[in-house]
Chain A
Amino acid sequence: GQQVMQIPQYQHVQEGEDFTTYCNSSTTLSNIQWYKQRPGGHPVFLIQLVKSGEVKKQKRLTFQFGEAKKNSSLHITATQTTDVGTYFCADPYGGSQGNLIFGKGTKLSVKP
């Protein structure tokens, strides 16, 4: 199955700075999901994007799905220490039977 690529692998920011992680696919995605995993914790579903060019917001988080549905991004405005963790994008059609295949994630650390 296809795999989604995420960049950067790591991001260190000062509290209050913005943060963006990017997810890219070589093929067109039907939809894409985003998850967050806190250090020592388990992945938690954040959002699913379905439509071309879709933009969804959750407080300081903005999720975008590219027009060609081959890329997606997550932008956090004015990061806080509570934003620390690893952010994964995932392709619900990545596996041969439609099981979820995750990107390698972007690990965000926030310096207070």
Chain B
Amino acid sequence: NAGVMQNPRHLVRRRGQEARLRCSPMKGHSHVYWYRQLPEEGLKFMVYLQKENIIDESGMPKERFSAEFPKEGPSILRIQQVVRGDSAAYFCASSLGRTYNSPLHFGNGTRLTVT
């Protein structure tokens, strides 16, 4: 059973470009979460999706950031017009059910560098 797959592992973008981060959850998991981690810092919740629905996006900046989890295909975290402050590791995680019953399984992350 393949784990959570994220790609790309590393992404370099120039200021003003768009970044698209992909995440395929574990087989059978319909809950997807995105977290951001700055160097030497903790995991900051961004958004929680469940097949075609955004359940909670309270941790996501209102501008430039969007996320989706279509019926078919991976979840996408999209960052428009990237700035240097967007440089971070972005982790996707999936779970079988709500987190109080099901632990999160994380992908290897996408390290975004904005130059």
Contact = CB atoms under 8 A, between A and B. Distances in A.
Chains A and B belong together in one complex: yes
A104 B103 contact: no
A95 B107 CA distance: 21
A45 B96 CA distance: 14
Interface residues of A, number: 25
Main SS of the interface on chain B?
A: loop
Main SS of the interface on chain A?
A: loop
Contacts of B104: 35, 43, 45, 100
Nearest to B92: A42
Interface residues of B, number: 24
B99 A42 contact: no
A17 to B, nearest CB: 23
A94 B113 CA distance: 29
B58 interface: yes
Interface of B: 33, 35, 40-43, 45, 48, 55-56, 58-59, 91, 93, 98-100, 103-109
